Structure 1
Amino acid sequence: MKKYFIYIGITIISLISCEEILIEEDLSDDTVTLIAPVDGSTVANASVNFSWEAVDPATSYRLQIARPSFASAVQVVKDTTLALTSFSTTLTSNTYEWRVRAQNAGSNTVYTSAAFSVTESDNFPARDVVLLSPQNNQIINTATITLTWEQVTDATTYRVQLLDDTNQVIDEQAVTTTSAQFVFPEGTTTWQVRAENDTQNTLYSSRTITVDSTNPAKPVGTTPANQATLTSTSVDFSWTRELIEGTTEFDSIYVYRDQQLTDLVTKDQATAPTTITLGASSTYFWVVQAFDEAGNESETSDTLTFSIN
């Protein structure tokens, strides 16, 4: 017999109540059927495509890959949650076990697993270059970056290229090791590597990376004004800051009890304006600092002080 989990959400607008009931089917008696790679199979390519049958009404699937197995794992190389019933990744030559479970908000199936091996193709041009670092779509705040990848059997040279957003080659190296260092431009760049020998080459394997080495602009506090005296404990803070082109920026506001900025009352990541409730009969000091996705930091704003009666 199927079991169901019931979730009730109540929204009150003015004096009108509206009730929404969401029923999630219990998945604990269901099973995920793996399609590929099947148990005991060998994949003669570093690019591995995983697929399994859908479970109704699962809303997502958790996929894990371990080396060499989950019982004696040296490394869990992948642990991800997906809405689809397929997934692709590159793996080095080795023995692996993969498993999938279906899940929804209230329950999940048990894992279904299969073991497989990855070997290099006998055909050199069909081999894959497995890129190691940096990770795909990584955001970095330094321009000098070392790229690394796995060795490809029978390769004598690796050709490494940087491509701009129009896919034009802007830099290139041919190296005999499995790493190369480049100075990347600001912004998003594609880097790609192929293996070569005297007569043949593989296809390129590629990733993108975003470089943002510019600090956000220094914020300027505006409200409450310096030396202001307030009567409400609900304090509206506002500030301005010039936007710098690059990765996403955000602000953090800090409120202290002392001018040395050591006795922190509250810290919030916020957008201006923002409201913070503080205690009465006190004097406060506040600053704002900006950050971005790459890890850059602005100068801290000038310290402003105010009192609440």
Structure 2
Amino acid sequence: MNMVRSYTLALVLGLTFSMCGDVIEEDISGREVVLLSPADSAVLTMDTVSFWWEPVDGARSYEFHLVSPGFETASRVWMDSVTTSNLITMVLPTGAYEWEVSGFNAGYATQFFYRSFRIDTTASGSEIALQGQPEIISPTNGSLIIGKTAKLWWEKMPGATHYEVRLVSPSFSDLQELLLDTLTASNKMSVSLPEGSYEWELRGTNASYASDWVRQSFAVDSVQVLDISQETIGQLSPSQDVLIIGAGVDLWWEQVTGATAYHVKIASPNLANPQRVLLDTSISQNQLHKALPPGTYEWQVRGANARYQTGTASGTFRMDVAVDISGSTVKLSAPGDSLVTSMHDLTFWWEELAGAETYDFILVSPSFDHIELLVNEQELVSNKLQLNLDSGSYQWGVRAKNEAYVTPLSIRNLYINSK
């Protein structure tokens, strides 16, 4: 039972207002501070006492008072302090005590809730001091429990008649829920728990002594989750320094067994010093299409599931837009069309086409409609080519290309006579 003492935190609130200024805070004046330990009117046989209470929604700090033997007849104030924690541990001598707690924020404070207890460390003579701490058998520290039941189990401790067990979520440093605070004579117990992260602690006790606390953590999941933290994504596309002509990029990567999602990020010009982040998302597929303007980009992907994530794989690429030259034709300059000549050393020449990156030159005999011999075929950056040819009938053609488009083949006839 929590008892109430009604007076306000005028000094504390005044200081808080002066520091915070005009801050609108939640009214918590009607809320209760639920005191957890020690129990009211408890008789403790150990000199180490942990004062523990549930966090109050909306409270930023707590004022804690501890006196002996009581507030009405206090002969000594052991503590008068403000703390942001909901747990205070002290070593105290034999005697009677009362303690109280109030939660407050910048505008409001709860009432004080108080309890009394007594410490009597007189040993019965049959009890022995407890050295060290209990040894936990299960669950092991940091382990994952599949299912809904956590089986807490530890080695029996010589001299211990009972064990004090506490279980919280997600941890004692970030306590959101107290799930278990009990004293048991057994060295094992089962607790039904939802999915989540947990921390628990226990110590052995007898009528006169208590051991040190031992604390460990574990997690609960209803389904098996593969540990993919050591996995890496293998192949991916585009990989490194790829030029992509068009208005969009198709990203693809190798799937990772056990991954249920993939986190994908695209930045320009790179991820280390991004000027723009074009994509930052998680998807379940192992591919996606993203429209992008011309520029330089770096992208990365990593796999993940409910508990783990893989290493990151990355690639770089450039986006550019090619000129559509498919409706243009290459203008051939020399030799003239249907030229008849006795010269065997000839220079083939054509006008450069705007937007073209290379040219395909093809020379056949006697014609493209009836090819008996492919005399010459090559891809050129320049617009000239010199060849030495035998006598005969020929057709030659040139077409222009870039990364996305190609022109039709421009064709001329050529006849070379013997001297």
The TM-score range, normalised by the shorter chain, is 0.3 to 0.5
Greater RCO structure (CA 8 Å; 6+ sep): 1
| TM-score, normalization by structure 2 | 0.36
